[in-house]
Structure 1
Amino acid sequence: MSTRQHPAVEALLERSHRLGADPRNTNYAGGNTSAKGTAPDPVTGGATELLWVKGSGGDLGTLTEGGLAALRLDRLRALKEVYPGLAREDEMVAAFDFCLHGKGGAAPSIDTAMHALVDAAHVDHLHPDSGIALACAADGEKLTRQCFGQSVVWVPWRRPGFQLGLDIAAVKDANPQTVGCVLGGHGITAWGESSEECERNSLYIIRTAEEFLAGHGRPDPFGPPREGCAPLPRDVRRERAAALAPVIRGLASTDRPQVGHFTDSDTVLDFLSRQEHPRLAALGTSCPDHFLRTKVRPLVLDLPGDAPLDDVAARLRELHEDYRAAYRVYYERHATAGSPAMRGADPAIVLVPGVGMFSFGKDKQTARVAGEFYVNAIHVMRGAESVSSYSPIEESEKFRIEYWELEEAKLRRMPAPKPLAARVALVTGGGSGIGRAIARRLAAEGACVVVADRDAEGAAEVADELGGTDRALAVEADVTSEEEIAAAFRSAALAFGGVDLVVNNAGISRSKPLLETTAKDWDVQHRIMARGSFLASREAARVMTAQGMGGDIVYIASKNSVFAGPDNIAYGAAKADQAHQVRLLAAELGGHGIRVNGVNPDGVVRGSGIFAGGWGAQRAAVYGVPEEKLGEFYAQRTLLKREVLPEHVANAVFALTGGELSHTTGLHIPVDAGVAAAFLR
């Protein structure tokens, strides 16, 4: 019988999905579940006892068969006989590989021993806020007895591993009446002889803890309101957040580029408005799942929420220096000769009273999840403070997990980042044609992409295609409007922390002889291409200089910026304006590490929004060819005799921004299949 068909596996996946769908039960990618059962040995045909357990990584709510590790129980249990003791327990993780049943599946996690050694057919290990609140209370053991009586027992803090599995197994054997345990500083574990019983016991622990905290907790565990920390009105705080996000992102990217996420939920704002938030934030998060994503503690601004923005930025820079120095001291205080090198001293969470929380990570999902985990930590602190006092695990224990060799090995297994990872791109005219192709290519190379277009529906379609809110954001923006361009960059700052790469692609063309070209024809093309590019570049420069991370601005100009073609005065002049903007801004912005380059396409007919909007018919009439043959006509007049497509323009944008041309600025790359008259000199 295959794993896919095994009823224990089916029940395990269904239980995992139900538990993982409710954030009250466990946080994203947190916890693991397991089931034991028998299946035929593929060699002998005899019945073999197996353990199926969620492997390293992945999320319970979306767990699939491929996310499970399948192991032989007899071999797992035999590991007790060769266990070398607590000082060498990490060696047991490698031993799990020799217990695997067949190929495929996920790598066994550090919690495998817990599931294997506990004598129950089904086991859940979860990280609910209510359970962690008891686990992180100063008198958590007493509170656990008070909450559950004899049905749930306390297991003192121990780092996840083989010894913890032995501890829990021993506690269960000594207390046969129990349905689970609270793990000090960590979470909960529950068990049952059927999947239904195990799930019922998990929910009993979680809901009973919730009811206990609600029924016994004091109403204001974070204390009275703190002066100057009340939440600002929504529009005001969002505007301040958008202004501060690039500054904070730049600080959080001192060691390596980070993507940002902003949260101003009621939970965050209430916590930051209270008297006790500085004390509690300084204690740091406790559950390993929390602080591995949030760092051991956040950076907290100590100015009133409505302080002048320049003062806030200056104070954040001071606090960031202090944070980095303190983190280095923390590392040096606990590091040993065998510790991994310090990974980085920047905060993952920055708290600004009155405004909200900024969280950071290697990509948008990581940044968002870090923020979600800090919200979990706030719930934990609230629960613990309501019935006792919040008492996280010792700093030395946090360091042992943060710089655990097993954690380091997991990081080494991560795939290499893509060339544009942690970069945020904004593409004007991104809802169709060349802009759509550019957005696709940048996203494929790892960038988060803001798709800006006057056509909101087209922008949304492209953003959805790129992978949704963790990969892309659609904004409606007319590039001729200062207000709409500024709003697009504010949206980018709130969604991703800022902008690193701007592509001025929005364009239009009306092809007419000089005497038929109206002032309106001239004005509309110059407003969109010359003025629009200027406005987008100016806003990009503001954001990029605030970040202090350099950046790229790319203009999609045209062969017509240097080639004098017939019946094309307004379009050619507007493109020439764009081309010179490249040179002017490259000279002005180079001191900030901002590179400005251009791409000169020609003859992009297929997939082009401009050609579809009437330009194709006009140019076909000028050249005396059928409109459907215009692409072929353009190709035949080139040196390479090849038709230019939107994807070829996107390739040039990536070539300029992907890292290989790091010392190039003020350049125009022709993408025209070779037009000698447009050669750059």
Structure 2
Amino acid sequence: MHTTTHSVVEALIERSNRLGADPKNTNYAGGNTSAQGPATDPVTGEDVELLWVKGSGGDLGTLTEQGLATLRLDRLRALVEVYPGVEREDEMVAAFDYCLHGKGGAAPSIDTAMHGLVDAAHVDHLHPDSGIAVATAADGQRLTAEIFGDRVVWVPWRRPGFQLGLDIAAVKEAHPEAIGCILGGHGITAWGETSEEAETNSRWIIDTAEAYIDQHSPDEPFGPVLDGYEALPEAERRAKAAALAPVIRGLAGHDRPQVGHFTDDARVLEFLAAAEHPRLAALGTSCPDHFLRTKVKPLVLDLSADAPVQECVSRLQELHEAYRADYQAYYDRHAGPDSPAIRGADPAIVLVPGVGMFSFGKDKQTARVAGEFYLNAINVMRGAEGISSYAPIDEAEKFRIEYWALEEAKLARMPKPKPLATRIALVTGAASGIGKAIAARLAAEGACVVIADLDLEKARAAAAELGGPDVAVGVAVNVADEAAVQAAIDAAVLGFGGLDLVVNNAGLSLSKPLLETTEADWDLQHDVMAKGSFLVSKNAARVLIAQDMGGDIVYISSKNSVFAGPNNIAYSATKADQAHQVRLLAAELGEHQIRVNGINPDGVVRGSGIFAGGWGAKRAAVYGVPEEELGKFYAQRTLLKREVLPEHVANAVFALTAGDLSHTTGLHVPVDAGVAAAFLR
């Protein structure tokens, strides 16, 4: 790479990362930055001017060189001569491909023209809450002049695209004293002749708007507090959130299953406690980045904070029906013959006064980001109401963007979902051995996983290995304690919105003959496996039934549930208990489309917490083999002569829950390499 080229790109990446790291500057994956500079054409050896601009998708805070689109500036600017006009401007996105320089890099975004047509070497386009507050104020044009003087120019709303790039270029040319502009209803754009100058100008616009809003806003920009709508005490509101979450997820997943996210951020609770929140929520969001992820408006529960849970459930069901009808009417008002089909009429954001916000998406990150964007929207409303009144773009313009052919094409390019995408799993005893292998397999296949284990530190470490909180969370649970079980399930529904798949794996074993087995030995094993599985299944079933989305409960039983081996009375008896729980619950929960199945592994030695804890040595002594040879011993007594590993049990869990066995319930699957004495009869 040309030395100058390298320094230009390096400075652009560093500037982008700094700006994107602070949420007050722009939202996740929102906005774009660019730089222009010289390079050598490898074909002609001549100097050319290039534009490096953040490509489609990606995030400024984590942008790397691979996330940039690189274009020939002369070719990009030549497109002005062939631009067919605003009615056909979508065609220009395809034309950007003919301006690309070299191989690799990201696809050019719709905002590329803004960066290439403006006569400045460095351009930042951002979505700061303070800037959007001015952009969505009813008298935003007047306020722009009052706040910034002649340094920032107002640009009326225009959908992102080639014409907006021309508009901003014209503003820059007509106002040489300006350092940037406020884009009506949308955000800000700033520029500079150096990377440092562009960043300084962007930050000045953001900080100046923020300072003006802080200085001129009243104490209650959302109006006075409504009696009874104040935030509930933390423990009470989180308990209510956990009770409502499965119902809300079921409603939000009426058209297609969704993963959820919950927040009781103080700013959300403040908004929902104020008198003006119903009016403002109904107006919807404005910035395209916001409503593409939050839909045009949220569903808002219109009950006070202390309304009983069941009353809230009934009202949410009524409001959901009304929301779907309203969204269908919105689609019908604006859809044309060439519009994409409706993408679903369920809300992406559900607001519950006194409790908080539930947000939804195709995965945890999407759901979390949707909630972050609605929090941005609340900040925008606060600022706009503080200095004027909130006036977002009208719904016809929102529809043009939400059902944009280019947006539809972007969705079509998304990779096919993994088999367990949108499914939320709770696996007990999942910090090691079989449970950890199951959690890893489920996560690899797209599920969100709650790793429940006695050892919280190990549970959290296992969750971190799987990818962190957007994929897995670790919680402490003693499955023999119902309060602890309920707390773990609450963590699942508050962490991911609900629950779909439960694996009863927690277990232990004490290998003793009958006369040496104590009452405490018997009680301990039955408490953990028989009682523990019962408590987990019982409390999980409440969530699954409330969601009304079906689900799976899987028991990791054992070949010992049907095979009579020596010196194993307590363990084998409790495994037989688990095996019959499978049949009993399959019969009882089938009407709710909840499938209950079991897996009967042979002894899993390698990687097993049970065997490492002394069980292996005792079983080896029973069979008269060295402990290190126990796995081979088990393998040799099987028909396939193969050792059973944790991953083989995980494979069976996946097979039972991934969809191909959708009509199977009450089944026990042997994973024992063929132990004839444990054949099911």
TM range (shorter): over 0.9
Give the counterpart letter for 1:61 in structure 2. G
* Aligned AA (1:577): D
> Paired residue for 2:432?
432
Residue in 2 aligned with 1:256? 256
Which residue does 2:294 correspond to in 1?
A: 294
Once the two structures are overlaid, the 10-residue window that deviates more, 545-554 or 210-219, is: 210-219
Q: What corresponds to 2:377 in structure 1?
A: 377
Superposition pairs of residues 226-265 of structure 1, within 5 angstroms: 226-265=226-265
Distance across 2 between alignment mates of 1:452 and 1:531: 16
Shift of 1:220: 1.3
Which ranges of structure 2 fall in alignment gaps of 5 or more residues?
A: none
Counting only pairs closer than 5 Å after superposition, residues 167-566 of structure 1 correspond to structure 2 as 167-566=167-566
Distance across 1 between alignment mates of 2:480 and 2:613: 19
Query: Deviation above 4 Å: which 4+ runs of structure 1?
Result: 2-5
Secondary structure at the aligned position of 2:52 is classed as strand
Letter of the structure 1 residue corresponding to residue 373 of structure 2 = F
Q: Which residue of 2 aligns with 1:85?
A: 85
Residue in structure 2 matched with residue 568 of structure 1 by the alignment? 568
Counterpart Cα distance in 1 of 2:2 and 2:255: 47
**Distance 1:585-1:146 versus aligned 2 partners, 3 A rule:** same
Q: Percent identity?
A: 77
Cα distance between partner residues in 1 of 2:4 and 2:672: 53
Tell me, in whole angstroms, the C-alpha distance in 1 between the residues paired with 2:99 and 2:228.
58
Report 1:502-651 matches (<5 A): 502-651=502-651
**Stretch moving more, 455-464 or 178-187:** 455-464
Amino acid at match of 1:407: E
Q: Say whether 1:12 aligns with 2:16.
A: no
8 Å contact from structure 1 (residues 4, 65) kept in 2: no
User: Hey, what does 2:165 align to over in structure 1?
Assistant: 165
Task: Tell me the amino acid that sits aligned with residue 353 of structure 1.
Answer: P
On the 8 A contact 1:4/1:10 being kept in 2, the answer is no
Give, in angstroms, the shift of residue 178 of structure 1.
0.3
C-alpha deviation, 1:426, in angstroms: 0.2
Check conservation: 1:3, 1:9, Cα contact below 8 A: no
TM-score normalized by the length of structure 1: 0.99
Distance 2:581 2:172 in 1: 72
Alignment of 1:22-171 (within 5 A): 22-171=22-171
CA deviation string 1:297-317 (max 9, x = no partner): 000000111111111000000
- Secondary structure of the residue that 1:188 maps to in structure 2? strand
Write out per-residue CA displacement over residues 91-112 of structure 1, whole angstroms, 9 at most, x where no aligned residue: 0000001111111000100000
1:229-256 residue CA offsets vs partner (Å, 9 max, x unmatched): 1111111001000000001000000011
- Contact residue 4 and residue 38 of structure 2 kept, 8 A: no
Rounded Cα–Cα distance in structure 1 between residues aligned with 2:14 and 2:113: 22
**Residues 432 and 3 from structure 1, CA distance in 2 versus in 1: closer, same or farther, beyond 3 angstroms?**
farther
> 2: distance between equivalents of 1:215 and 1:386?
9
Asked whether the equivalents of residues 603 and 635 of structure 1 are also in contact (C-alpha less than 8 Å), the reply is no
Alpha-carbon distance between aligned partners in 2 of 1:259 and 1:196, rounded to the nearest angstrom: 40
Aligned equivalents of 2:679, 2:115: Cα separation in 1: 68
Deviations along 1:508-549, whole A, 9 cap, x unmatched? Answer: 111111111111111111111000000000011000000001
Aligned residue number for residue 654 of structure 1: 654
Q: Post-superposition shift, 1:218?
A: 2.1
- SS of 2:150's partner is coil
* Partners of 2:5 and 2:39 within 8 A in 1: no
User: Contact (CA 8 Å) 2:5, 2:38: kept in 1 or not?
Assistant: no
Q: Partner letter of residue 514 of structure 1?
A: L
- 1:227 offset after TM fit, Å? 2.0
Q: Kindly indicate whether the alpha-carbon contact (under 8 Å) linking 2:450 and 2:473 is maintained by their aligned counterparts in 1.
A: yes
CA distance in 1, matches of 2:200, 2:516: 79
Residue identity in the other structure for 1:10: E
Does the CA contact (< 8 Å) of 2:424 and 2:498 recur in 1?
Answer: yes
Per-residue deviation, residues 441-461 of structure 1 (Å, max 9, x unmatched)? 000001000000001111111
Structure 2 CA distance, aligned partners of 1:385 and 1:603?
66
| Kept in 1: contact 2:252–2:360 (CA 8 A) | yes
Secondary structure, in 3 states, of the residue corresponding to 1:149?
Answer: helix
Instruction: State the alpha-carbon separation in 2 of the partners of residues 632 and 45 from structure 1.
Output: 67
In structure 2, distance between residues paired with 1:103 and 1:539: 54
Distance 1:302 1:557 in 2: 47
Range that drifts further, 456-465 or 111-120: 456-465
Alpha-carbon separation, structure 2, partners of 1:555 and 1:218: 58
Contact in 2 for aligned 1:635/1:641 (Cα 8 Å): yes
1:627-670 deviation digits (Å, cap 9, x = unpaired): 00000000011000111100000000000001111111001110
User: Shift in Å at residue 425 of structure 1?
Assistant: 0.2
CA distance in structure 1 between the aligned counterparts of 2:298 and 2:277, rounded to whole angstroms: 11
Residues 131 and 188, structure 1, Cα contact 8 Å, conserved in 2:
yes
Q: Is the CA contact 1:453–1:476 (under 8 Å) kept in the aligned structure 2?
A: yes
Cα contact 2:123–2:192 (8 A) shared by 1: yes
Q: In structure 2, what residue type is equivalent to 1:572?
A: S
1:6 Cα offset (Å): 1.2
Amino acid at match of 1:254: H
Deviation at 1:4, TM superposition (A): 11
Amino acid paired to 1:444: A
CA contact (8 A) 1:328 1:345 kept: yes
Residues of 2 paired with 1:367 and 1:564: CA distance?
A: 49
Instruction: Spell out, residue by residue over 1:160-181, the C-alpha distance to the aligned partner (whole angstroms, 9 max, x if none).
Output: 0000000000010000000000
- What do the CA deviations read for 1:24-66 (whole angstroms, capped 9, x no partner)? 1001110000000010111111111100000000110000000
Rounded Cα–Cα distance in structure 1 between residues aligned with 2:16 and 2:472? 29
Once the 2 structures are TM-superposed, how far is the Cα of residue 9 of structure 1 from its aligned partner?
A: 0.3
Q: Deviations over 1:199-248 (max 9, x none)?
A: 00000100010111111222211000112211111110010000000010
Summarize deviations over 1:487-521 as a string: whole Å, max 9, x none.
00011111111110000000011111111111111
TM-fit CA distance, 1:3: 9.2
- Structure 1 distance, partners of 2:509, 2:603, is 13
Letter in 2 for 1:673: A
In the alignment, residue 511 of structure 1 is paired with which amino acid?
A: S
Matched position secondary structure for 1:680: coil
Distance in 1 of aligned mates of 2:231 and 2:504? 37
Structure 2 letter corresponding to 1:553: I
Give the whole-Å Cα distance in 1 for the aligned partners of 2:520 and 2:426: 28
The answer to whether the 8 A contact 2:5-2:37 is kept is no
**SS at 1:374's partner residue?**
helix
SS in 1 for 2:343: coil
- In the TM superposition, residue 2 of structure 1 has moved relative to its aligned partner by 5.8
In structure 1, give the amino acid aligned to 2:245.
A
Task: Could you tell me which runs of 5 or more consecutive residues in structure 1 were left unpaired when the two chains were aligned.
Answer: none
**How many matched pairs?**
681
Given the superposition, is the C-alpha separation of residues 107 and 89 from structure 1 closer, same or farther in structure 2, using an over 3 Å criterion?
same
